[in-house]
């Protein structure tokens, strides 16, 4: 295998020349005005060494990628009790779909669709309070990022998420009728919108993903962030549900647990080997980064990192 620096440089070079880049999310101006020509990639290996190329140090909105970190925090606070309020099954539906909630009595299919992530936010608000939970998520990201410079919650983004978040409000209200939202809707959604507005670079995002690559251990301090079974559960859910109704195609093409965000970021984990972040703002029809997926497919072809690789 060629060295990672040249592999990543080659992939970024290829991606930068592609003109069909998908469509940037346009439901709020701060996402709509991002330059679709941006492309960044960062890999952190098991020794903590970082390999980066392109716009890997430019901050972007991580959006639904934050669902991984919300779940991690909620699991450490709530343990397996949490699974009585959100299931562990793929949805096969769009990220913001409401249809399954009726037949499933207000219990979302998984924590990575919006409905599931809103339940996770509700659990965090119950445990830590609205502002305490927001701070805990920010602190988690800051402490795991390797270099916290510039990592922040974009208040303008959070406010615009709130002002346009009617469907998320509908999901929360609907689940409340089944007793699966237990705090005032505004508090639970406030946390959800603020976590979506977490803003960081690929290098920082790959740094945060380090604890999943190691099976729950902080690469730098050696501290346990999650148990091994919880790290496995989170990665299994990323593989099955991390790309919504595009999760099957992602698993086949890339073969790594991955989570996307509508800001164009993807975090993918090669267990025991690497934490990888890519960012390309243009999305495919399922709301997942078009070139980000292609870049990960290339990376796995060149490194053999697919979890299905022994063959």
Residues that bind ligand GLN (CB under 6 A): 63-64, 95-96, 114, 161, 168, 196, 261-262, 287
What is the distance between the alpha carbons of residues 269 and 109, in angstroms, rounded to a whole number? Answer: 22
Closest CA to 56 of 306, 295, 254: 295
Q: How far is the CB of 128 from ligand GLN (least distance, A)?
A: 21
Closest CA to 267 of 295, 308, 245: 295
What is the distance between the alpha carbons of residues 293 and 260, in angstroms, rounded to a whole number? Answer: 9
Determine the residue with CB nearest ligand GLN: 64
Q: Return the number of the residue (164 or 177) whose C-beta is nearest ligand GLN.
A: 164
Closest CA to 204 of 77, 61, 76: 61
Is the CB of residue 263 less than 8 Å from the CB of residue 198? no
Is 221 a known ligand-binding residue? no
Closest CA to 157 of 281, 26, 29: 29
Q: Return the number of the residue (27 or 308) whose C-beta is nearest ligand GLN.
A: 27
Determine which helix (DSSP H) or strand (DSSP E) holds 259, and give its type and residue range: strand 258-260
Q: Return the number of the residue (215 or 263) whose C-beta is nearest ligand GLN.
A: 263
CA angle 211/158/169 to nearest 5° reads: 100
Provide CB contacts within 8 A for 170, sequence distance 6+: 98
Q: Return the number of the residue (8 or 238) whose C-beta is nearest ligand GLN.
A: 238
Is 114 a known ligand-binding residue? yes
Q: How far is the CB of 202 from ligand GLN (least distance, A)?
A: 16
Q: How far is the CB of 81 from ligand GLN (least distance, A)?
A: 25
Q: How far is the CB of 51 from ligand GLN (least distance, A)?
A: 26
Q: Exposure of 272 by Cβ count < 10 A (0-12 exposed, 13-18 middle, 19+ buried)?
A: exposed
Q: Return the number of the residue (196 or 299) whose C-beta is nearest ligand GLN.
A: 196
Q: How far is the CB of 31 from ligand GLN (least distance, A)?
A: 9
In the chain, % helix, strand, coil (3-state, to 5) comes to 50, 15, 35
Is 110 a known ligand-binding residue? no
Is 104 a known ligand-binding residue? no
Is 275 a known ligand-binding residue? no
Q: How far is the CB of 287 from ligand GLN (least distance, A)?
A: 5
Q: Return the number of the residue (114 or 180) whose C-beta is nearest ligand GLN.
A: 114
Residues of the binding site for substrate: 64, 114, 161, 168, 192, 244, 262
Residues of the binding site: 64, 114, 161, 168, 192, 244, 262
């Amino acid at each position: 295998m060629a060295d990672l620096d040249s592999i990543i440089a080659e992939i970024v070079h290829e991606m930068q020349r592609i003109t069909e880049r998908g469509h940037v999310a346009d439901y709020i101006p701060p996402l709509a005005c991002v330059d679709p020509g941006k492309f960044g990639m960062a890999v952190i290996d098991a020794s903590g060494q970082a390999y980066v190329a392109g716009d890997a140090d430019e901050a972007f909105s991580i959006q639904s990628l934050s669902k991984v970190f919300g779940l991690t925090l909620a699991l450490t606070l709530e343990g397996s009790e949490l699974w009585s309020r959100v299931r562990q099954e793929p949805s096969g539906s769009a990220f913001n779909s409401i249809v399954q909630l009726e037949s499933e009595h207000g219990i979302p299919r998984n924590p990575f669709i919006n409905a599931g992530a809103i339940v996770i936010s509700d659990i965090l608000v119950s445990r830590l309070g609205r502002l305490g939970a927001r701070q805990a998520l920010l602190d988690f990201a800051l402490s795991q990022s390797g270099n916290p410079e510039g990592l922040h919650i974009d208040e303008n983004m959070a406010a615009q998420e709130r002002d346009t978040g009617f469907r998320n409000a509908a999901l929360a209200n609907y689940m409340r009728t089944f007793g699966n939202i237990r705090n005032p809707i505004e508090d639970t959604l406030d946390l959800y919108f603020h976590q979506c507005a977490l803003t960081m670079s690929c290098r920082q995002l790959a740094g945060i993903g380090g604890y999943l690559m190691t099976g729950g251990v902080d690469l730098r301090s050696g501290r346990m962030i999650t148990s091994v079974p919880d790290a496995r559960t989170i990665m299994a859910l990323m593989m099955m549900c991390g790309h919504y109704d595009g999760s099957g195609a992602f698993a086949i093409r890339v073969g790594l647990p991955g989570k996307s965000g509508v800001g164009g970021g993807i975090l993918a984990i090669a267990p025991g080997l690497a934490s990888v972040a890519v960012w390309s703002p243009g999305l495919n029809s399922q709301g997942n980064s078009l070139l980000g997926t292609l870049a990960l497919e290339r990376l796995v072809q060149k490194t053999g990192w697919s979890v299905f690789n022994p063959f």
